[in-house]
Amino acid sequence: MGKPGLEQCVLNAIYEASPDGIMVVDEQGIIVSHNRRFIEMANTPRALLRGPDPGSAIGQAGAPILAAVLENVLDKPAFLARINLLNEHPELDDCSEHQFQDGRTIERHTTALRCPDGRLVGRVWFLRDITEQLQSAESIRNLSLYDRLTGLPNRRLLLERLNQAFNASARSGHGGAVLLIDLDNFKDINNSAGHAIGDLMLQRAAERLLSCVSPADTVAHLAADEFVVMLVDLKADATGAATQAQIAGDRIIAALAQPYFIAGQEYRCTSSIGAAVFTDHTYLAEELLMRADIAMSQAKKAGRNSLRFFNPKMQEVINTRTSLDADLHRALLNHEFCLYFQVQVDSTNRALGAEALIRWQHPERGMMAPAAFIAAAEDSGMILPIGQWVLETACAQLKAWERDSHTRELSLAVNVSGTQFRQADFVAQVNAAVTRHGIKPSRLKLELTESMLVGDIEEAIVIISALKQTGVRFALDDFGTGYSSLQYLMRLPIDQLKIDQSFVRDLVASKNARAIVRTIIAMARSLDLEVIAEGVETDTEKQLLLGKGCGLFQGYLFGRPVPLRQFEAELKNIWHYEPQRSWVD
Ligand code: C2E
Ligand code: CA
Ligand code: CA
């Protein structure tokens, strides 16, 4: 055997033993050769591959790898065009990666095949399984970013995520917060029960933390007994974000304070939390963690098992809010809420009904307007029992009015909050109240705002329609300040639009406000809706509104919100309230 023969044998051996799958096509794109590894990777019988029509191999064997490699072979013109392109640009590698459903990733390279004289005779494709390579790169990254004991992100990844969160917050306007959580007496347990128990406890604590937050939030493990929770998508204003952070923090403190049962023993470990809020890129990530750390030390000093905010002002706001939450619970039991009534009149100043506006007779703070507590009640969920109380009280009032010929025809508008409206059994609650008090449903008017409807308009339509069937009426409150699209308005089965007081206030001074009011009235007319203006304070405003076609009013000009007795007295004395003949008998 001469030298070239040996060379040939060596080349053949390398070709067959190569860890890469190799496939050779001639200049017409017909497969002329492939090695063993290629067959393995393509998972296709050798006999099916060769020849001018390798597409049939895919049909029969269904091997996805082959399909990926031959994507161009199957589409003959495209494949030839590609070969021509590669021939013209021999430097092109045509490298690509393919991921398969079975988890493998295959890298594909190609190179021109030339005779010793330089003539192009075909192409060679190389397939390399890079799955393991990618996996080990991934696990190296994971090792450097995740804590081994708990599997949670470590400090480095937390800092990365914080920076991403700052950017996202600057874009979306949402706030966020970091809660630095320290397990109060973990070191004692670790020392007395041993590190194995300590490790198990940390793993359980990690699970509990994960269960307390939503998937978009991050739970990180910084040091032995130190965790950080990064909350995102909080309210835009710092106070709102802090309130939400406090709620999440309370949940975490309660979850971590639960006993741990490990190896037949019960262990208890409370936690202290330091919180710092962010609403954009104001701080560096490290700085924010430092703030949370300072707040955490204060929580420890304050007696552990508690949460403190870095910002003392914020702490104050939160303290007020927390005591407000506790007070709200008590207020319902102690009958501290009452309804004020503000008259609604027609163009002749005749009273048609009223809007019920809640007031809180607080034992220390005195009479409180809804602006001071409705938001807190929304956040804590107390708005549900409060809303229910308003509805019951309003229905009871309507019944009482129905019994008196002087007030029989009055209607009563009740404000409904978003949370209340979206309850699964809202329709049933309203119907039950109407039935329980035996009132005429059309006397009850529920006031909704646009902002509470836009989330899921289809659902809103279903709820409103269901209640309309029984005769309850609906008004769209604060109209003009929200979404106000005609298209969406057309689909809502409501009865009345309530022009927001901000437009009424500007009527005299602003041409714009006049144009908006004119448009709202035209809109209402075309949709056959009633329109009422609120916040009417002067006769000039009333006349302007009247001139534009709005004939229903509410505002200080006619009467402020007043307690029931005063309302009923003024009804007789001021609002020319003359029951029509038909009402009396
Ligand atoms: P709203 O539904 O827009 O109620 C109208 C507010 O404007 C009332 O404030 C009323 O006192 C005030 N107002 C009425 N006429 C005039 C006027 O001529 N000029 C001016 N400057 N203001 C006028 P109030 O009673 O403080 O209520 C504030 C908000 O609290 C209400 O706004 C409503 O959104 C909410 N609210 C009131 N009662 C309830 C309730 O029972 N449940 C719920 N969920 N929210 C309520
Ligand atoms: Ca209202
Ligand atoms: Ca309003």
pLDDT tens digit string along 419-464? 999 999 999 999 999 999 999 999 999 999 988 887 788 999 999 9
Q: In what order do the strands lie in the sheet with 307-309?
A: 218-223, 226-234, 175-183, 271-278, 307-309
Check if 390 has its Cβ closer than 6 Å to any atom of ligand 1. Answer: yes
Atom of ligand 1 at shortest distance to CA of 417? Answer: 44
Of the ligands numbered here, which is closest to the C-alpha atom of 446?
Answer: 2
Residue 68's Cβ-side half-sphere holds a number of Cα atoms within 13 Å equal to 23
Would you state the pLDDT for residue 444?
98
**Protein residue whose Cα sits closest to atom 12 of ligand 1:** 535
- Integer CA distances (angstroms), 438 to 94, 214, 411, 432, 444, in order: 79, 44, 14, 10, 12
Sequence-ordered list of residues with C-beta below 8 angstroms from that of 52, at least 6 positions apart, any chain: 30
pLDDT at 138: 82
Pocket probe mutation, ligand 1, options 357, 501, 537, max atoms within 8 Å of Cβ? 357
CA–CA separation, 168 and 315 (whole Å): 26
Of 470, 474, 475, 385, nearest to 434 by C-alpha is 470
What does the pLDDT read at residue 61? 39
Distance (Å, rounded) from C-alpha 297 to C-alpha 306? 11
Q: Which one is the CATH code of 6-134: 3.30.450.20, 3.30.2130.10, 3.40.50.2000, 3.30.1200.10? A: 3.30.450.20
DSSP H/E element including 331: helix 312-333
φ and ψ at 361, to 5 degrees? -85, 90
The pLDDT score that the predictor gives to residue 474 is: 98
* Ligand minimally distant from the alpha carbon of residue 338: 1
- Between CA 567 and CA 250 the distance in angstroms is 43
pTM (two decimals): 0.58
What residues pack around ion ligand 3 (CB closer than 5 A)? 477-478
Assigned CATH for 148-310: 3.30.70.270
pLDDT at 415: 98
Ligand 2: centre distance to CA 420 (Å): 15
Give the C-alpha separation, 510 to 514, whole Å. Answer: 7
Atom of ligand 1 nearest to the CA of 357: 38
Q: Which protein residue has the closest C-alpha to ligand 1 atom 27? A: 370
What is the pLDDT at residue 378?
87
Q: Which CATH architecture has domain 335-573?
A: Alpha-Beta Barrel (3.20)
Range list for CATH 3.20.20.450 in the chain: 335-573
d(CA 454, CA 462): 13
The residue contributing the CA closest to ligand 1 atom 17 is 535
Tokens of 315: 């702490």
Q: Where are the alpha helices (DSSP H) in 113-237?
A: 131-145, 155-172, 186-193, 195-212
Kindly state if the Cβ of 415 falls inside 6 Å of ligand 1.
yes
Neighbours of 195 (CB within 10 A): 10
Q: Would you state the pLDDT for residue 572?
A: 83
CA of 250 to the centre of ligand 3 (A): 34
Question: Which residues have CB less than 5 Å away from ligand 2 (the ion)?
Answer: 415, 447, 477
Ligand 3 centroid to Cα of residue 379, in Å, is 21
Q: Where in the chain is the domain with CATH 3.30.70.270?
A: 148-310
Question: Which of 415, 430, 447, 503 best tests ligand 1's pocket when mutated (most atoms within 8 Å of CB)?
Answer: 415
pLDDT of residue 317: 75
Which residues of the chain are under the pLDDT cut of 70? Answer: 1-4, 29, 42-83, 86-87, 90-94, 101, 281-282, 483-484, 575-585
Check pocket membership of 478 for ligand 1, CB cut-off 6 A: yes
Alpha-carbon gap, residue 388 to 428, rounded angstroms: 12
Sign of the Cα pseudo-torsion (327, 332, 336, 339, in order)? positive
Is 153's C-beta closer than 6 angstroms to any atom of ligand 1? no
Closest CA to 520 of 562, 542, 494, 548: 548
Give the closest residue (by CA) to ligand 1 atom 29. 370
If you measure from the C-alpha of residue 256 to the centroid of ligand 2, how many angstroms do you get, rounded to a whole number? Answer: 42
